[in-house]
Amino acid sequence: MDKSRLSELDPLLICFALFVLMLVVLFLGNRMRKRFWHAEEGDTRGGVNSLLGALFGLWGFMLAFTFSQSGTRFENVRSMIVDEANILRNAIIKTDFFPDSVRNIYRTELRKYLEERISYYEDAENESVFRKNREELTSTATSLWKLTVETSKKTELSSAAAGMATTLANLFDIGIKREALLGSGIPAPISLMLITLALAICLVGGFTTPTIKRKEWIVIAVFALLASSILYITMDLAMPMTGFIKPDTGQTTIVNLRKLF
């Protein structure tokens, strides 16, 4: 799966770095206030505080929208895996319509396809193994299609071969859709915008706070931790193949197909 450089990084590492940077930027913003904001100028109650509220609202809106999109993508992936399992099951069952000589070849190739499909999901974090597995899946799919074409030329098996061709076409189509969906993720500009807004909020917040005492630091640290955690979950949901949260329920339906053999 082709990814941007940002999506290649571990979301946990990104969000931990964001947590630390939020505290550092807020501290720097407070130091800037003490250096450039004179006491006789009074406290900020107008435009700057309004800007801080607007930044909070904008960041919250973008985060809510991105979280919703990530959650929807995760559910779509899980649903698509279940659909793929159902189509693959139909293909395995339809082998019973062929004579034993053809049926055995079909079942051998379909079992190979099943194992490669399971490995496709389990080895997604290893890029070299994943790419090799994709090539094997393509090779097996080609073999299945060639077998179906050859079988369709036999008059007595043409009807069964036509049904198998339709099922295999659906199986290959959903495989392409699954890979496209899994490779989408959160667009890098949106992730960068969320990170930038979070840091901007901390900078403005630190600049508009006269003094930050220990109690204030506790509240700030809790906010930074929660903000980083929510962003981590949002980014992780958009990576169902390699993230911590995985559509295991859908994948189980694929693994259970082994019982058909």
pLDDT tens-digit map of 8-46: 677 888 888 989 998 898 888 888 877 776 554 555 555
Sign of torsion, CA 177 179 182 184? negative
For range 123-132, the mean pLDDT = 72
Looking at residue 243, its pLDDT comes to: 65
What percentage of the chain exceeds 70 in pLDDT? 84
| 41 belongs to a structural domain | no
pLDDT at 2: 45
Q: Considering all CA atoms of the chain, what is the largest pairwise distance in Å, rounded to the nearest integer?
A: 97
> 3-state class of 45 per DSSP?
coil
Tokens representing 155 are: 């008059």
CA distance 194 to 199: 9
What pLDDT band is residue 216 in, cutting at 50, 70 and 90? confident
Rounded Cα–Cα distance for residues 227 and 19 (Å): 8
Cα→Cα distances 122→1, 8, 115, 240, Å: 14, 17, 11, 11
Alpha carbons 107 and 144: distance in angstroms, whole number: 10
Q: Is residue 42 part of a domain?
A: no
- Give me the torsion for CA of 173, 175, 180, 182, rounded to 10°: 150
Phi-psi region of 10 (alpha: psi -120 to 50; beta: other; left: phi over 0): beta
pLDDT band, very low/low/confident/very high, at 1 (cuts 50, 70, 90): very low
Does residue 244 belong to any structural domain of this protein? yes
Q: Phi and psi of 213, rounded to 5°?
A: -95, -175
Residue-number span of the structural domain to which 172 is assigned: 5-35+47-260
Instruction: Give the model's pLDDT for residue 167.
Output: 92
Into how many domains does the chain fold?
1
The model's pLDDT over 44-68, given as tens digits with 9 standing for 90+, comes to 555 566 777 777 788 888 888 888 8
pLDDT tens-digit map of 248-258: 666 788 888 88
Residue pair 228/17 in contact (Cβ under 8 Å)? The answer is no
Q: Which amino acid, residue 93?
A: I
Kindly provide the residue ranges of all beta strands, DSSP E only, lying in 70-187, ordered along the sequence: none
Residue 40 lies in a domain: no
When comparing pLDDT for 127 and 167, which is higher? 167
pLDDT at 209 over 90: no
Percent of the chain with pLDDT over 90: 16
Gap between the Cα atoms of 58 and 143, Å rounded: 52
Whether the predicted pLDDT of 89 surpasses 90: yes
pTM metric for this prediction: 0.73
